[in-house]
Homo-oligomer: A and B are copies of this chain.
C-alpha cells in the first residue's frame, strides 16, 4: 500500500488523487490527512520541505513533489498513460507547469491574506502574483487544451487549478473566461474523480 500525505483543499494533492483514479491506482493508495502547520506532524520528516503532497512507498522511501509523484504513478501503471512518451511529453509538461504556476501565484495571494494583517500586506506583491495568474488564464482562454476521453497530466493540473480558484476566489475567474468554463465542464463530465475530490470545507 502507498501512503499519500495530503489535505482535502490542496490543489496539488487533488492532482495526485485524480491521476491515481485515471490510472486505476486509487485502491493502492491510502490518503493520510496532513497539517503542514503543525511542527509535530511527521510530514517534516517524510519531506524536509514539509509540503504536500508527499508519497510514501512501501519501503519507506518518500517521493515529492506532485510532478514527481504523478510520474511515478504513471510508471507504476505501465507508463505513457497520463504522461506521453517521447516528444509528446512536452506540451503536457508545459501545460502542467503553466497550471501549477497559476496555482502557485494564487496560493501566494491567499497566504498574503491569511498570514499578514492588512497593514502589512504588499499591494505590489499581490498585484505581481495576480498578473501571473491573469496572463496564464488569458493564454489558456485563447486556446483551451484539447483532450480526448482520457485526461493527461497537464489537463488534470489545469482542472485542479481552476477548482482551486473556485474554492479560494469564489469563482471570480469564470466571468472573463467562458471557453475555460466550458472546458472545465467537459473535463468534469469525462473525469468523475474531479467531482469526487472536490473539497467541501
Interface residues of A (CB under 8 A from B): 44, 48-51, 62-65, 67-68, 71-72, 75, 86-87, 89-90, 93-94, 97-98, 101-102, 105, 111, 115-116, 119-122, 124-125, 131-132, 135-136, 138-139
Contacts and interface: CB of A to CB of B under 8 A. Distances in A.
Contacts of A101: 49, 51, 65
B124 A48 contact: no
In the complex, the count of this chain's copies comes to: 2
B75 A87 contact: yes
Contacts of A48: 98, 132, 135-136, 138-139
Contact of A63 (B68, B90, B122): B90
Contacts of A90: 63, 68, 71-72
Given A105-B49, A116-B122, A122-B116, A64 B135 contact: no
A87 to B, nearest CB: 7
A44 B131 CA distance: 10
Nearest to A125: B115
Contacts of A115: 122, 124-125
6 contacts: A44-B135, A49-B105, A50-B135, A64-B97, A67-B93, A119-B120
A94 to B, nearest CB: 6
Given A48-B139, A75-B87, A135-B44, A97 B68 contact: yes
Contacts of A119: 120
Given A49-B132, A51-B101, A64-B97, 9 more contacts: A48-B138, A62-B94, A64-B94, A65-B97, A67-B67, A67-B93, A68-B94, A75-B86, A75-B87
A135 B94 CA distance: 30
A50 B132 contact: yes
